[in-house]
Structure 1
Amino acid sequence: MTAVETVAAPHELAKEQPLLEDIRLLGRILGDVIREQDGEAAFALIERIRQLAVADRRDSNSCSAAALQELLHGLTGEETVTVVRAFTYFSHLANLAEDRHFLRRRHVHERRGEHSRGSLAAALQRLEKAGVTAGQIADALRHAYVSPVLTAHPTEVQRKSILDAEKAIAELLAARSHLQRLGALEQAAGETDARLASQLAANEAAIRARVTQLWQTRLIRHARLTVQDEIENALSYYEATFLQEVPQLYATLEQHLEGRALPAFFRMGQWIGGDRDGNPNVTAQTLRHALARQAAVALRHYLQEVHLLGSELSMSEKRVQVSAPLRALADASQDRSSHRADEPYRRALSGIYARLAATLQALAPGEVAPLTVRAHGQAYPDAGAFEADLRTIAQSLREHHGQALLPARLLPLIRKVEVFGFHLTTLDLRQSSDQHEAVLAELLRVARLCDDYSALDEAARQQLLLQRLNDVRPLRVPGHAYSELATSELAIFDAAREALERYGRAAIRHYIISHTETVSDLLEVLVLMQQAQLVQGTLEEGATARIIVVPLFETIADLRNAPGIMQDYYALPGIARMVLNSGAEQDIMLGYSDSNKDGGIFTSNWELYVAETALVETFNAIGQRHGGQVRLRMFHGRGGAVGRGGGPSYDAILAQPHGTVRGQIRLTEQGEVIASKYANPEIGRRNLETLVAATLEATLLPQTEPVPQAFLQAAQALSDASMQAYRQLVYETPDFASYFFNATPVREIAELNIGSRPASRKPGQRLEDLRAIPWGFGWGQSRLTLPGWYGFGSAVEAFLCADGEAGRAARLAQLQEMAARWPFFQTLLSNMDMVLAKSDLALAQRYSQLVPDRQLAQHVFAEISAEWQRTVDALNAITGEAERLKNNPGLARSIRHRFPYIDPLHHIQVELLARWRAGETDERVQTAIHISINGIAAALRNTG
């Protein structure tokens, strides 16, 4: 696997040469490993399949397609697994080469003083040109809250063992790039160094060892992933990336802002261990386990850093003076070693280490400190006390000529404690509104307050719930045996109260209500929180809530109703006062996945835009009415695929309606996107910077002009037509669900051990019950990427024809103007451009052949193909570009290099799906299907 197909222009090839060399190196090593492990015949078979797939892509009329089908059809089970593993691993290795090339090119630009779009440096330059001062930026960040939130979902396909091996290869590629730069410098100076050649050879040998490890490691899990596994996978990113890179993010910002100190405005968030919606495996015990493991990761990291500080701060009192608080800290440490008698900083750090070790035992029982603790320590009451001790050390160093010792470790450690505390990351709670209703109905019935709460209309529900919020008496009847659901749900609220007392308020800040459709959905959670003393006092007297109640608006109807629901909620007596008393924060979560599945790509994005604008206006009015501004924070439930709100985060944030960010944003990071963004620490920091850069620009850059009313009216017209076309296909075409479940590997995805959560909310094959995540994932696997574009072509065609042929040119000109001037429309078109570039009708047609009802298959595929062409034509007409990804050369390059290697995976997957569904019971067939799912997801990257 050494050939790389290229058709780029010469100047592009020059830029790509290092990338091509890395891909060739990794491909050659993989080929050598396959020869060694499986023999020459296996390697020759893989090469033959690759060559036929390349020929088929280049010339679909050639005989290569027939030859490829014949070859694949004749593969044995063992041969199939070997071939699929080979192409899957090549996709993984190509990803590593591309990541290295991205960083290489970025370093080149930065050395030239060119700052990449989306970088902090570029954002600060734009702000400076707009007249925004460093003081204004610092002031905005003092009131900001930016948080990426890691979530698990049922299409996460990467094993941690694989990720760890790939991380090692990425580090070796980085080291190789450094050696090659040294070699280039020596060659330019006319020097040669045999030692450098030896180092390169050793580097290649080390890569070969890790590739061998990959080849001998299972790609997929034998057992379904548990919530505990998902927790550990997520925590590995904190150890590898976040704990190291987040402090660097702050340091970079403070350097740009002329040394102005910044508060901890950037925080990490997480759902894994607290998200119960549709996942019966998440319980109160799971929540406790997640919080304890988070604390363990934070504290073990701090212990290691304190130990290293002890080796660095070896100053003797015979050489330097120390502050009185530092001396008191040293004397209190109980470190009586004669070796450290004159080393007050080390004695102070010994005491700090002992207290941290005791804290680890208290917050994460069973965890052991990395080193033996010589002195006894009393556990810290909270992270603030630990931070105060560190600041005592820092202040003493400043006062006694030790400033040079601060930046390397002590200041970053202080920043870590500010950001991560003892809780590491804010863990959100989430549950569906219907579950809250069921629990509350049972509580009220047992308490003899309401026989059938669920039968009440909305007004009666609100009245009853408000009565309960003005009555501090508990609803729970002591000694009564409640149902399993009620017992489990109430235990969650009790565990949340314990968590706040144990780990601090930042441990749990948000309770998210899925399927929020009424005001009572919000009140129900407040009443349930009241039972665990998470709401204190009564609404009449001025209650406080210890956790923010967060509505999640998911469907198109929910988004349209969101402003009215929030207006009515805050109009209830005592609610606004409670929120103001509790910190004046209101998060609102917006669902990208379900709104897309409900109404299609354009309507989803447009309704989100409209809802955000209306919500800001609503909360401005609430602030005026109640004499206190509630800080509104949008929480964007974005997935990896464009159909689920994916695409570049920088563009997505800047495309938000003006005035809706205001320094406040949370957004989900899911599945393969987490690995691609944060497995590599340097790439991780770049992505974290991007979130801050975009938030600053969206908050502080003045709006050049209001969005013209004509643009808004056009978008509404496009949305109406797009939704009609989308729903006509998906929800009105007879047996469309049958087409989807047969023409994609979604059934096999559900069987794959890739997540703790079921793929569907209910058994069966109803699209309404299928989660939006496997919906998008299935279309990605079959290369139609339908959720990312369907309906737009029909919408544009209807819009252009609205005034007859005479008005067509003027309407097209308007769409072109919208694409040039309106970030919302620009970003939407760019994302559709990307998913269309990744779509492939020829491959998708092969998947359609899996549908048993041939008439249904031909009809549906014809409809999809026609809309695909309409959408391509519309995009071409609006942008003036007939070539996909004309303005995204990086992704175009990626597609050019990887598609000849991903095509065989699709061909094999279709063949295997046909065999498996026909009743072939060879376990190797199922294994190969699951590996192919992994390989295709890895190659497409933003698929889930």
Structure 2
Amino acid sequence: MGESRTVQEQEATRPLREDIRFLGGILGDTIRDHEGPEVFDLIERVRTEAFRVRREEVERSAVADMLDGTPTEVAIPLIRAFSYFVLLANLAEDIQRDRRRAAHVSAGEPPQDSSLAATYAKLDAAALDGATVGELLTDALVSPVITAHPTETRRRTVFDTQAKITELMRVRRRLEPGDPALDDTELRIRREVLTLWRTALIRLARLRIQDEIAVGLRYYDLTLYDVIPAINAQVRSALRARWPEADLLPRPILRPGSWIGGDRDGNPFVTADVVLTATGQAAAYAFARYLDELVELEKSLSQSARLVQVSPAVAALAAAGYPDPAVFADEPYRRALHAIRARLSATAARALGELPEHGLDTGAAPYPTPQAVLDDLDAIDASMRASGDALLADDRLAALRHAIETFGFHLQGLDLRQNSEVHEQVVAELLAWSGAHADYLGLPEADRVELLANELRTRRPLLGPNARLSELATKELGVLRAAKQAIDTFGAAAIPNYIISMCTSVSDMLEAALLLKEAGILDPGSAEATPHSPVGIVPLFETIADLGAGAATLGAALEVGVYRDLVAAAGMRQEVMLGYSDSNKDGGYLAANWALYRAELDLVDLARKTGIRLRLFHGRGGTVGRGGGRSYDAILAQPAGAVRGSLRLTEQGEVIAAKYSEQGAAHRNLESLLAGTLESTLLDVEGLGTDAEPAYEILDELAARARAAYARLVHDTPGFVEYFRQSTPVAEVGDLNIGSRPASRKPTSSVADLRAIPWVMAWSQARVMLPGWYGTGTALEDWVAGDPRRLAQLTELYRRWPFFRTVLSNLAQVMAKSDLDIAARYAGLVADEQLRTTIFGMIRDEHARTIRMYLAVTGDTELLSDNPSLAESIHNRFPYLEPLNQLQVDLLRRLRGGDDSELVKRGILLTMNGLATALRNSG
């Protein structure tokens, strides 16, 4: 693949190759100096041989033979070396992307798709009217929701050092040879690389949820706190300039969320205390940043009353600023800001139970809401503009105003999530204890719905203060009462949603509502007031069957009067979450993607009929097997009407670092979410027109064939689960200290009960990538059946339809990162030779078939013809994966053979982290 690159492509990527060689050389020098020449020489021999394998100069066994029998204590520095090679290659690639983008702009070329500049140009060309835009963007929201991932174990020191190296490399590129600053910069890079080498890459102890909460908040420090409000302000300004009459985006469109500390589906470690920790630490971060900014503003806004005239509102604030009127007597803005800081300090102390750093203990009255803070800051802003100081107002003051408007007192919304089976058990227990019904679990669905609806209409609680409940019920109610406390303390936005996993029925939705009522969150209303809840009830449809029935389930819920009233009280807004991971695990890649599309079509139709404002929450993983891929393309691939200005999606931990650890990358990723949302909302992007139904029928057939092919392997082949457990490190994902969450929802060896993260992660580590492609080749081949006309139909769909093009493009990304020769080494871990031969043979045949059919449909000559940057990435980094995979197989064999030493376990964990770093959105 890499060998077919053109001379032009090679020249364009020359700076990238130079950066990789430079950083690799420094890392090599560091290893030689601190590990000794023998270790360095071994690493160099392995690296050289790995590149020869990639160039097909030697057999694949060359690296394996060289590493065979390597003592564990020698294997550890080898693993660390190749993990750091990959990490530094990632840095070089990120810098190259920035370099290429800057060159694109300086050449005066049109803005690239997925940028807001390109989106604005498309909107201008469409000549939309303000009334239509205003309607479509009512209650607009784009919400990236951060989740945890077991491979996200890197420590803060590693992140900080990466950031320093990235900035120093940018400085180095700007310096000329002979400049003394160049030598100094390269010396500083060497220091940072040494710091990396001397720092443990990962933690040894199992991550606690509290650690994951801290990791999630780290990204606000790195990028999100600064980038999100700035983009919000820019988008609002750009849209209002185009449609001034529409008063667009009265609330910031980008509002982030989190699952870390609220997602208790299968995670017994999420407790009431954890919910309070997650919401409390997020709020503490927000207050600390606001107070820091107020301190800086007090220093900088030194305008004198002798030189400027302030508004009466600012004068009143200034009068309350200091007890002593002589302090900054003629500097009204400083005094006003001091008054704001005093009140915000009191607000923080009341909410957090302690006074933050830079807080003032003056006895000032707390602010009741974030809007009250904004009102005071807006008064300062208006006064400054009136006196001609807009240039100053547009700096730090504007940034603080935008931040408070975006983050409030809560910083991010924490979603709660639990499995419907748990709700069912707890509700049954509450109803039995209260005497409302002794055998709820024995009721048919219609009777359950009637009983729950009646209970939701009454203010009577089910429990008294002396109720004696099971541990499960006590814990579940404790979590919801903690959520109530967070809402009361930080505002309703602190806990925006309650997500019901494996939602299959109306009663599943009403059970969640009843638990919210019991915790005091849902108000059942009265004769004068309708029921309402600040927390939205969000059904999560996950399996293929549940996705197919999703619209019917929601439609039936809307026919229940009390639930319809709850939706009406929320402005007719109803959110629905779509599960990419479990649907994929259930039915395979193509069937899951099509089931999701069909579910969206049905839900859009339901929204049209019922008048609800539908918001879809996409449970996308970072990996393609869990719904990953380029976010911009994925948004454009949604059915018409599925976005309508409103979109939430999970940003999974395995790719958060790549997306949000550096300001430029964070800005680009968030911009692409907004660009895709605006285009999908305001433009016709589906591209099928009157040919939609015939295209849907073709995909119906393809999906059915793909699901059948997937089921033959995963669900119907005897011994498949055993093959999976032996040929991948999935067992070790559960046994080693990886992440806070158990690998399975409950003790079982069933694929159905295995969590999607370890399912996808294990196949990725073994370089099979099965969840991202299996079954698609058979579906395409069987449907085409050698008929050129049918092949031409698929080719035309690929050209015209963003959904089909995105599905195949993501498949190609995954398959390009797969390596069945390496996968064969993992298959060798399976003890049963017949089982190994049967299942790996099926995988190898389908792999070849899928590549063949992909190339036939797209007309490409290789997998990544449409993605040359990824092709270059694979060319640069994959030789570093070779030894990591080979060593992982060897260490797994040792562990399973009885060597359970800490060093072996640490080596396996290091290989997992290194491979995930290298595979990025496939690891």
TM-score band, normalised by shorter chain: over 0.9
Q: Per the alignment, in what secondary structure is the counterpart of residue 865 of structure 2?
A: coil
Q: 1:539 to 1:908 in 2, by over 3 A?
A: farther
Worse-matched range after superposition: 304-313 or 132-141: 132-141
Matched, 1:640 2:619: no
Worse-matched range after superposition: 873-882 or 6-15: 6-15
In 1, Cα distance between equivalents of 2:691 and 2:485: 48
1:647-666 to 2 correspondence within 5 Å? 647-666=629-648
Please give the per-residue CA displacement for 1:625-658, whole angstroms capped at 9, x wherever unaligned.
xxxxx21100000001111100000000000001
The Cα of 1:374 is off from its aligned counterpart by: 7.3
In 2, Cα distance between equivalents of 1:347 and 1:905: 60
* 1:476 corresponding residue in structure 2: 463
Matched, 1:87 2:82: yes
* 1:43 corresponding residue in structure 2: 40
Q: 1:922 to 1:576 in 2, by over 3 A?
A: closer
* 1:70 corresponding residue in structure 2: 65
In 2, Cα distance between equivalents of 1:760 and 1:640: 19
Q: 1:439 to 1:144 in 2, by over 3 A?
A: same
In 2, Cα distance between equivalents of 1:505 and 1:454: 33
In 2, Cα distance between equivalents of 1:519 and 1:823: 33
* 2:324 corresponding residue in structure 1: 336
Where structure 2 has 5 or more consecutive residues not aligned to the other structure, the ranges are none
1:806-821 to 2 correspondence within 5 Å? 808-821=787-800
In 1, Cα distance between equivalents of 2:172 and 2:774: 44
2:522 equivalent among 535, 540, 546: 535
In 1, are the aligned partners of 2:286 and 2:411 still within 8 Å (CA)?
A: yes
In 1, Cα distance between equivalents of 2:740 and 2:270: 9
Matched, 1:411 2:411: no
* 1:909 corresponding residue in structure 2: 888
Q: 1:886 to 1:573 in 2, by over 3 A?
A: same
Worse-matched range after superposition: 745-754 or 445-454: 745-754
Please give the per-residue CA displacement for 1:581-606, whole angstroms capped at 9, x wherever unaligned.
23321100000000000000010010
* 2:831 corresponding residue in structure 1: 852
Q: Per the alignment, in what secondary structure is the counterpart of residue 941 of structure 1?
A: helix
Q: 1:335 to 1:105 in 2, by over 3 A?
A: farther
* 1:763 corresponding residue in structure 2: 747
Q: 1:573 to 1:440 in 2, by over 3 A?
A: same
In 2, Cα distance between equivalents of 1:345 and 1:139: 39
Q: 1:575 to 1:206 in 2, by over 3 A?
A: same
* 2:287 corresponding residue in structure 1: 299
* 1:158 corresponding residue in structure 2: 154
* 2:217 corresponding residue in structure 1: 235
Amino acid at match of 2:752: E
The Cα of 1:776 is off from its aligned counterpart by: 0.6
In 2, Cα distance between equivalents of 1:103 and 1:730: 42
In 2, are the aligned partners of 1:250 and 1:262 still within 8 Å (CA)?
A: no
The Cα of 1:38 is off from its aligned counterpart by: 0.3
Matched, 1:432 2:411: no
Q: Per the alignment, in what secondary structure is the counterpart of residue 921 of structure 2?
A: coil
Matched, 1:526 2:513: yes
What value does the CA root-mean-square deviation take over the aligned residues? Answer: 1.8
Matched, 1:605 2:593: yes
Amino acid at match of 2:705: A
In 2, Cα distance between equivalents of 1:54 and 1:128: 49
Q: 1:931 to 1:670 in 2, by over 3 A?
A: same
Amino acid at match of 1:793: G
Q: 1:549 to 1:351 in 2, by over 3 A?
A: same
1:271-290 to 2 correspondence within 5 Å? 271-290=259-278
Normalised by the length of structure 1, the TM-score is: 0.94
In 2, Cα distance between equivalents of 1:784 and 1:344: 66
The Cα of 1:767 is off from its aligned counterpart by: 1.3
* 1:187 corresponding residue in structure 2: none
In 2, Cα distance between equivalents of 1:749 and 1:935: 14
* 1:387 corresponding residue in structure 2: 374
Q: Per the alignment, in what secondary structure is the counterpart of residue 13 of structure 2?
A: helix
* 1:10 corresponding residue in structure 2: 7
Amino acid at match of 1:26: L
Where structure 1 has 5 or more consecutive residues not aligned to the other structure, the ranges are 184-191, 624-629
In 1, Cα distance between equivalents of 2:129 and 2:605: 28
Please give the per-residue CA displacement for 1:836-878, whole angstroms capped at 9, x wherever unaligned.
1111111111111011111111111110111111111110110
The Cα of 1:82 is off from its aligned counterpart by: 0.6
Q: 1:136 to 1:32 in 2, by over 3 A?
A: farther
2:761 equivalent among 760, 772, 777: 777
2:716 equivalent among 709, 714, 732: 732
In 2, Cα distance between equivalents of 1:916 and 1:657: 48
Matched, 1:890 2:869: yes
Worse-matched range after superposition: 530-539 or 726-735: 530-539
In 1, are the aligned partners of 2:543 and 2:583 still within 8 Å (CA)?
A: yes
* 1:20 corresponding residue in structure 2: 17
Please give the per-residue CA displacement for 1:641-691, whole angstroms capped at 9, x wherever unaligned.
111100000000000001111111100001121110000111101100100
Q: Per the alignment, in what secondary structure is the counterpart of residue 352 of structure 1?
A: helix
In 2, Cα distance between equivalents of 1:252 and 1:175: 28
The Cα of 1:415 is off from its aligned counterpart by: 1.1
Q: 1:111 to 1:65 in 2, by over 3 A?
A: closer
Please give the per-residue CA displacement for 1:458-503, whole angstroms capped at 9, x wherever unaligned.
1111111112112221100331221111111112222222222211
The Cα of 1:620 is off from its aligned counterpart by: 1.4
Amino acid at match of 1:460: D
In 2, are the aligned partners of 1:317 and 1:344 still within 8 Å (CA)?
A: yes
* 2:822 corresponding residue in structure 1: 843
In 1, Cα distance between equivalents of 2:290 and 2:409: 9
Identical aligned residues as a percent: 46
1:296-375 to 2 correspondence within 5 Å? 296-336=284-324, 338-366=326-354, 368-369=356-357, 371=358, 373=360, 375=362
Q: Per the alignment, in what secondary structure is the counterpart of residue 636 of structure 1?
A: strand
In 2, Cα distance between equivalents of 1:14 and 1:351: 59
In 2, Cα distance between equivalents of 1:139 and 1:897: 48
The Cα of 1:136 is off from its aligned counterpart by: 6.0
Amino acid at match of 2:88: L
Worse-matched range after superposition: 475-484 or 32-41: 475-484
Q: 1:67 to 1:545 in 2, by over 3 A?
A: closer
Q: Per the alignment, in what secondary structure is the counterpart of residue 499 of structure 2?
A: strand
Normalised by the length of structure 2, the TM-score is: 0.96
* 1:670 corresponding residue in structure 2: 652
Worse-matched range after superposition: 526-535 or 549-558: 526-535
Matched, 1:99 2:55: no
* 2:115 corresponding residue in structure 1: 119
Q: 1:165 to 1:315 in 2, by over 3 A?
A: same
In 1, Cα distance between equivalents of 2:789 and 2:886: 45
* 1:173 corresponding residue in structure 2: 169
Please give the per-residue CA displacement for 1:172-220, whole angstroms capped at 9, x wherever unaligned.
223333x33xx3xxxxxxxx8x5xx221222212221121111111122
Q: Per the alignment, in what secondary structure is the counterpart of residue 583 of structure 1?
A: coil
Amino acid at match of 2:676: A
1:881 equivalent among 856, 860, 881: 860
Matched, 1:485 2:472: yes
In 1, Cα distance between equivalents of 2:134 and 2:91: 36
In 2, are the aligned partners of 1:636 and 1:668 still within 8 Å (CA)?
A: yes
Q: 1:875 to 1:569 in 2, by over 3 A?
A: same
The Cα of 1:252 is off from its aligned counterpart by: 2.9
In 1, are the aligned partners of 2:73 and 2:903 still within 8 Å (CA)?
A: yes
In 2, Cα distance between equivalents of 1:44 and 1:574: 72
In 2, are the aligned partners of 1:640 and 1:670 still within 8 Å (CA)?
A: yes
In 1, Cα distance between equivalents of 2:544 and 2:604: 18
Matched, 1:591 2:582: no
In 1, are the aligned partners of 2:346 and 2:361 still within 8 Å (CA)?
A: no
Amino acid at match of 1:170: T
In 2, Cα distance between equivalents of 1:109 and 1:334: 53
How many aligned positions are there? Answer: 912
Q: 1:420 to 1:152 in 2, by over 3 A?
A: same
